[in-house]
Structure 1
């Protein structure tokens, strides 16, 4: 598996990308996937500070920032901080500074000698240690011992790099500065290992406290970075379904090669499961895009179908002219209906005026009768009558009054009956008018207004309602309903049912023809696919024949060149050895002529094979073209 260079400066640039994974050549020894061998031992530069032990670390730190280590991968194949190949730190700030070069000594710009700043550093260290589960008191930080300082230092370093290899049997003075150099502490050259014997002394404590404070800030920065959603974390659980960030691609690649690395350690040479997982993840990434592509293809197909339909259908002007003819005929029918309604309105206005006149006449008659009644009362009062006549008149008056009351009651009942009958007649008239309007609208929608088409051209199906007439037979103006209109409507309905049955039969026939055409088109498409497969096979055979002919030609040319060289050598030898070599020369010339004849024969066979295949391809193209032309003509005739 060959690594590729990472154009994005990724920390996992030593991991091969999927496109560069190749099988190693067969060998008796399996190649390692862990990369190149370790570097040579790293010796600190001169002037980096005194040390109580000349022993140096044999591993040169290659990691600039341990925060870039993956948090989602298992510990298979991980290397500690001092042997990491990750890129440099991307963190800058007051505490995380750039590492100095070996030939330059930086001075700590922090006011580590001031008591206020020391108190602030102690408080931040104390809070961070308690937050990370390390129990310590403020008194311990005030009067620190070498054991406590070592425990705190190792705890803080392990928070930054959990894989750093502290060894309990090694002196703390031998591990202190290598660990700081591995973490790229910028002021490591200003620290003396002798200070670790008494870290709480006045001259050593500020620098050692600044080291702890720097480790605390670095641990906080690491925690903040790990809790963020930065793509450089390369956590596959935080990768969205659709992404375009290069770091997300690198994360998936690292996950793939991590799993392949584990499978390789278990003896696998083919990583099928890892390939399937990676393909499924990218298929999920491209799912929405593919769905959009399918929808766009469907829309394109629909638009092509609509375009073809528009091309095959008639001109829109013809449809508009036909629609205009329908609208003109409907306008004429609407004017006829409007004239009927105007006539009905005028008739109703005349009826209302006649009723008002009759009401005024009856009111005048009632006033005249009341005046006559008053005159009669005055006449009776002026007459001088006897008591018997008065009693008789009173009895007659009472009888007449009772009769009058009875007559008034009868008149009132008669008026109520007349009013109820008028209301019923009005309701029935309104219902009849609505039914007649519905009948007229149906005639308009069915196109049965006169003049009708043959054979009904002499019949008028329209009706009018005349509610002002007293003759029942004259309520409907028009043809007789029982004798003319109803038989006519039955005949029209039967004619429409017959036409509908014929149209349905024609539709079924057209559907059947369309299904047959579709089946024939599918069969033709299937034949075209079979012929294409044959063409592919013929092309492959032609390529194989061409390759074989070329190989044989190369072999023959090499043999001819060899024979020419031998012939030249034989001629040279013949000049020196005489006639004994002529026989060999003639034999070589004969072999040379045979090889030339063989080369010519192979060339002729190759040319004939190429011509034959080209002829078959041309015949196939002509056959496909003729089939497609027949299919197009058939579809155009069917359309």
Structure 2
């Protein structure tokens, strides 16, 4: 394993917690390095325990503690030599460190030293530090008593110092051959104790003296705080810098989590490489699974967004392909406006009828109140007459006559009551008939109004009837029969007007009918003329067809004669050619004979 991969006290580091636990600076080993170069060796995790092994006494200066890393990885152990490549586990051996000694550290300059702000000279603060040091040493199984802290010796101080330093840095290389004065300052500087320059090595010979004990006690207290901070850090569960793969959430964005997964991948791949593998399928699959879980929700959201986008795009295409709804809305608006006009008209008529009914109800209430008052007066008068009759002294004959008159009046009253009941029945039946006839009349008037609207006779009428209103309304709530029908007079106005309108319409219809007959007559004449023209056209077509046939016959005869003439001309040309050939041949013979004769 290369040197940069080893964990050491000498590696520079920064305090990411800003020293919030104890108010003291944090040593470099208290922070787990985030980069892969600062990670623990692949030889295996360190087996750490927060306490020292049992049996370690106060006089032990070997520097062993429960925080020593024990290598349990068998890959770095030799398979051929049993004593090579193994980490010894006995108390006589120590794990190595890359620390090269105090000589390699440059002492801090004078400008970097500063005064310790802690009240080290106060007794209460010293008692507090002693108690915390004692509690921590007891918790880490270091055998010590409070009396020892009160009267400290150089040997005890060295044992406590080395014990606390090993807790902070288990790999720190103490050398038993060196003096404690030569090891104290380098150890404090390696752990970056901020007040190491204020410690005098001469104090270590007698650490319990008055001038040296506060500063040396503060050193032990600072080491205790650093040990507690390191333990809290190692035992923390939510700190991402621990880079524990099992504690990485499924969804993460911290770079440290990415580095932890990368280091785990490289570690497993390195182990597989030691076993002879060149392709790391399992490690690749595990890493892909981790990142697939990380991206699962995002991928799901992306798919949902894509589906929603496709749906919205489809709806947009449908809207673009469909016609604009403006025409439909305009038609609906026109219908609504027409319905509104009709509704306003109906509402006006109903309001007028409501006013009439309200007036009728008011009149009926007034009449009922008057009759109630009259009834009360009659009742009072009856009681008065009854009292008068009681105080009168009547004879038996008068009583008999009065009884007879009473019986006669009672019979007459019964007859009148019967007649009244019959009259009431008749009135009720008449009311029902009146109501039915009123409803029929209302329906007839409604039909009449619809007919007026259909034929266009709603006001205003065309001249000369523009000042006449043909509408009628039924007022069944009135007591005056003359006011049952509201509107113009039917006999004097409406009927003559309708007759005049009908006469005008009949006249217009007769004129239109006459015009139609005239147009039909003209149309018949035009039709007859068209038929005559068609007949002439057919005759002309027949003549044209006969002429075409004659022309075709003449054309055929001319073609035949032309063919015969052409054949005769060809024959004559052929005979002429033969004659010309024969003439030429006979001329040549004559010339040859003439030449022969000339030679002779």
**TM-score above 0.5:** no
Computing the radius of gyration from Cα coordinates, the structure with the larger value is: 2
TM range (shorter): 0.3 to 0.5
TM-score in terms of structure 1 length: 0.42
